Copies of this chain bind each other. A is one copy, B any other.
């Protein structure tokens, strides 16, 4: 029910191995960048995703959507903006904008679900939820 407004910019330089025979950054690689963006957005909130996994909480991707506007090339320096759009104790929605200078290359959205070691949905512990910007549900008014 929350709308955290956190966002985070990172710079990524396209590696040669990430291009394809068309000479473009391969489209599947964008999702690797988006995941890197989420890692850094979490870190900015004081949460290391690797620590979450050590506590047995995993974010799995439930949905991805991406519009590709213009290609990127080897050695381009890109700016990825990752924003946390919506957070509940078991879901997180993010949006992404990938730019090269002023040029928009891609826009995307994702939905993650938090699960436990057994792969079943698991609510974030309170401390984690609050650090990520979640607001505790108010007690029901009688």
Contacts and interface: CB of A to CB of B under 8 A. Distances in A.
Interface in A54-91: 58, 60-68, 71, 73-75
Contact of A75 (B15, B29, B50, B65): B50
**Looking at chain A's contact residues, is the secondary structure mostly helix, strand, loop, or mixed?**
mixed
Given A16-B26, A28-B32, A64-B66, 15 more contacts: A16-B49, A19-B21, A20-B21, A21-B23, A21-B53, A22-B60, A27-B64, A28-B28, A31-B31, A49-B75, A50-B73, A60-B68, A61-B68, A63-B66, A64-B68
Interface of A: 15-17, 19-24, 26-29, 31-32, 35-36, 39, 48-50, 53, 58, 60-68, 71, 73-75, 119
